[in-house]
Every structure is written in structure tokens, then in C-alpha cells.
Amino acid sequence: MAAITRLQQLQLLHPPLTLRRSLPFHKPKQLTRSRPRSFSTSPILCSNNSHNTPESSASKVGANASIVGDLLDYLNESWTHFHATAEAKRQLIAAGFHLLNENDEWDLKPGGCYFFTRNMSCLVAFSVGEKYTVGNGFHVIAAHTDSPCLKLKPRSASSKSGYLMINVQTYGGGLWHTWFDRDLSVAGRVILRGSNGSFVHKLVKVKRPLLRIPTLAIHLDRTVNKDGFKPNVETQLIPLLASKLEEASVETKEKSTTTSSKAAHHPLLMQALSDELNSNIDDIVSIELNVCDTQPSCLGGGNDEFIFSGRLDNLASSYCALRALIDSCKSPGDLSSEQAIRMVALFDNEEVGSGSIQGAGAPTMFQAMRRIISCLADKYVGEGAFERAIRKSFLVSADMAHGVHPNFMDKHEEHHRPEMQKGLVIKHNANQRYATSGVTSFLFKEIGKIHNLPTQEFVVRNDMGCGSTIGPILASGAGIRTVDCGIPQLSMHSVREICGKEDIDIAYKHFKAFYQTFSSIDKKLNVDS
């Protein structure tokens, strides 16, 4: 009861975030450089936008500034990979970055800051050093916007035993048993038919608990605690939407002329979407939705030292990288002595292998690099500009790392047990499941050493399989030097994950230091001369 009482007190002091509607993404009349939203220094149960004012941001500039509150805002806004990309887009525009379109010709200048999106789930942002010359390198941090989740099937409507059910697909390697008995809803994107015959892309988020996957009572499964909970993901991982009552859909039937018992999606679900979008059901011509947990991201632990949230893998890395880029070039003089191009690349579909037009397996980033070099070449007629630039470039593949679990310590190799609150983890694998080498590991650790930022190292046990990242995909794509690193966490791929609050700020500072100092460090080491 004492814990419940404390929770109630914290809720009164720090009310949960009220999530905003998706913003329209038109180019503002005047772009201004402003810092991302900041937050109160008092304990945070959930993020609270009331603290995020330009005045409070200005007061927090300095070495001890924390981005944890801003990360909570980002997580609570980013229920899906679409929303994560859209929120990154909003923050980049607010910081003065200019939106590009891959279909248009680009006009780039030294000292400029730019970005583009692909599929509204992949984003590449970059700033050009004022001292840039053709052949200089790219300093890149790459992460991914997607997380394991449940996605609606193209025909999601089904019914069982008097209930309306939603058929879903499993996406990625999720811990699916953690999705049971959670307050769930849906979010994603829709295509709407416009009044003039055009089609409009919009993001949607139904904030109220809409779905539930109930577990079976122990009275009907007496051996579950002994034998384990092993649900069949096709027949038993089906969210419940509503009781199948005729009156439940009477109003919906009156509003839509296309409603029938053979509709691809339940009219009740479509009505919830149309209410959120302020549109007619008949105008929704396509949907692409994730099932999402409605519980907000928040601080937790006895000293509020942890972050409890879904999608930390890998939105925590994505936000730290994005924020580091924005803050490394927010002041007029930040790019004055930079000779390289600073870049962030946020890809989709890492959890399923990156093999998509918006994934790291596509040549998105390297095509952008070629275009950037071409735009900035002016009258340059030399040989091998792109190839020389790649050889001078460096990529930080940022994905979350496996922190040692106190109840399962034997799952880690004895001398490689990363702990939370102790800095970024550099990942090694002799079989190249990670792209780290002795050289790239040294260079990345040297950044931390200079700026007094701790690092840890991880290697998987020889008798266990090793996961992988976008690092090897990108490293082999054009031959770019790469280090794999990540923020240590627990409960990876659960519906609710955990990481250390201090590690967020350490990662942000390490990434920012990478942008600001890598050029000078790299000059001191020559391997192939």
C-alpha cells in the first residue's frame, strides 16, 4: 500500500502527458533555430509538456543539462515508427533544418543543415561543415525507428464466442507473452480521400484503451507456472475489441454506406479512426496500423533512476543521435571549423532484417552521400570523390545493448557484463555480427576518454547465438568504418523495457562529442599508409 500511495502522490504532482494530435508537416513561413523542448528538474513520473518552454530550455544550456525529460516526451509521442519519424521531422524544422525531397534537385551550401524522409519511417539529416571540401568524410550515427509489435492484418475483422476480435501479425522477435493483459490501442497511418479527388497521408493515434489480450485464468491452466506460458501466436494472440452486440454498431452502420459483415475491418474500429481524424469512414481508403501499449513512458525505481517504457529499442538511440546532431550545430559558430559532414540516419525495418526500401539494406544513405558530394562539388573535376569520402568517413551504429540481468547473470560472458548507469556498450563479435574492429573501437573509446565519458564492452558467450544490427549491413554496403554500440537495457523486446536514466545523458554527450571532435582525433591515426 505504501508504494501505491507514493504513486498516487507523484501522479498528483506530475500529471501524465496529454498526447497531441499529429501535426501537419508544411514548411513554416520562417524557420528559426530553437532548442528542443526541455523539462523540469523535479522527479518525473511521466513526461509533462507544461515544463517544456523555450525559457526553461535556455536556462538549461550547459554541460550538466539533461535530455531525459525530452526523451520521455519523444517516446510518448512516438507510438509507431511513423510517429517517431514525424516527431523527428518536427524537431528538425524547429531547429532550422531545411526539408529536402528526394524527387527534387538539391541546392546545398557549406554551413547548411538539411534532412529528408522516406516513407515517413526513415529519415536522413545532415549538416555541412563550413570548411568542407570535396573528398572529406561523413561522420554518421545510424539507428532504427521500428520496434517489435503487433500489426493489423489486411483483413483484421473476426469474431469469436460473442466478441469482436482484431486479427494481427507479429512483427519482429517480440516477447509476445508480455502483451497479454495490457491496455492496448492502435496507431499508425491512413490514406484519406480528399474532396478534390486527391489522396492525403495522415498519422493517427487512438489514445484511449481500445483493445485487450486477456490471459487464461489459472483455474483453467493449472500447469502454467510450472510449464510456462506458451501462447500460440496465430490463435491465442488476438486482441479483443468489443462484445458482439447488434446495437454496438447501429450508429456506425448509419454513417457508412460500405459497412457489411464482410468488411475488412470492424466498423467499430473504423469509427474510432474516423472520430480521431475528424473524417468520414468512407474517406479512409487505406490503413497501416500497429497495436500499441497506452501506458506512458515514465521514470521509475526507488530513486527515479530508471526509464520504464516501450520501444526503448531503438527510439532511445534514435533520439540521442537526433538531439546530438541538432545541438552540435545549433549555434552560428558550431560548424565554422568543421571539415566533414555530420549525419544522422534513422532506418525502418531493422527488427525484420532491414530488407526494404526504407531499411538499412536499401542504398538510401549512400545515395544521399553521392548527391551531397555532387551538389557541393561546384567545378571539381577530380577522380573518386565519393570513394575517397567513404574512406575518410566513420559510422556509429547505435542500437540498444544487453545489460546484465541480476537474476540471470550466467547468460553473460563472465568478463563482459555491461551494467546500467555506466555508459555506452561497445559490441564485439569475431564472426562479424557486429561491425566493430580494434581500430573503430579505439577511436570511439578515445572520444569518451577525452570527454571523461565511460564505456563498456560486450561479447556474447561462445555457446550462445548473437543478434545483429544495421552496422554490418552499412559497413559492407560501401566500405565505411563502423563501430557498433548501444545503451544497456533490460527486458529487450518486451512491451515494457527498462534502461538507466544516466545512460541516456551519457549517450547523448558521447554522440555530441563524436560530432564535435572526431575530425581532430581521426587525424592522429593512420592505418593503411
pLDDT tens-digit map of 297-309 = 999 999 999 999 9
Torsion angle of the four alpha carbons 232, 236, 239, 243, in this order, in degrees rounded to the nearest 10: 170
- pLDDT exceeds 50 at position 50: no
Q: What is the pTM of this model?
A: 0.88
Percentage of the chain modeled with pLDDT above 70: 85
- Residue 356 near residue 362, CB atoms below 8 Å: yes
Q: Which residues have a Cβ under 8 Å from the Cβ of 323 and sit 6 or more positions away?
A: 36, 67, 70, 508
Asked if the model's pLDDT at residue 450 lies above 50, the reply is: yes
CB 123 within 8 A of CB 85: yes
| All structural domains of the chain with their residue ranges | 67-147+310-523, 149-220+227-243+263-293
- Give the tens place of pLDDT for each residue, 132-166: 999 999 999 999 999 999 999 999 999 999 999 99
pLDDT value for 528: 87
Residue 43, pLDDT > 90, answer: no
pLDDT value for 332: 86
pLDDT at 24 over 80: no
Q: Which three cell numbers stand for residue 382?
A: 577530380
CATH 2.30.250.10 for domain 149-220+227-243+263-293, yes or no, is: yes
More confident residue, 49 or 319: 319
Reply yes or no on whether the pLDDT at 21 is more than 60: no
The pLDDT value recorded for residue 104 is 97
pLDDT higher than 70, residue 409: yes
Closest among 115, 138, 126 to 340, alpha carbons compared: 138
Give the per-residue pLDDT at 28: 36
pLDDT at 260: 45
CATH pick for 67-147+310-523 out of 3.40.630.10, 3.30.572.10, 3.40.50.300, 3.30.2350.10: 3.40.630.10
Q: What pLDDT was estimated at residue 67?
A: 98
Q: Where are the alpha helices (DSSP H) in 60-143?
A: 68-77, 81-94
User: Which has the minimum average pLDDT: 248-262, 346-360, 398-412?
Assistant: 248-262
Residue 435 has pLDDT above 90, yes or no: yes
Bond prior to 314 in cis (omega within 30° of 0): yes
Q: How confident is the model at residue 16 (pLDDT cuts 50, 70, 90)?
A: very low
What local confidence, expressed as pLDDT, does residue 45 receive? Answer: 54
Checking if the pLDDT of 444 tops 60, the result is yes
341: β partners: 128, 138
Is residue 35 over pLDDT 90?
Answer: no
* pLDDT computed for residue 195 by the predictor: 84
pLDDT of residue 326: 98
In this prediction, residues 488-509 reach a mean pLDDT of 98
| Residue pLDDT, tens place only, 410-425 | 999 999 999 999 999 9
Q: For the chain, what is the mean pLDDT?
A: 88
69 vs 74, 184, 390, 400, CA distance in Å? 9, 24, 36, 19
* Nearest one of 511, 487, 512, 117 to 309, comparing CA atoms: 487
> Cell triple for residue 64?
550538466
Residue 230: its pLDDT value, please? 94
Q: Which of 32-46, 238-252, 442-456 has the lowest mean pLDDT?
A: 32-46
Average pLDDT over residues 373-395: 91
| 366: confidence class by pLDDT, cuts 50, 70, 90 | very high
- Compute the average pLDDT of residues 354-377: 97
Residue with C-alpha cell 522516406? 118
Structure confidence at residue 42 as a pLDDT band (50, 70, 90): very low
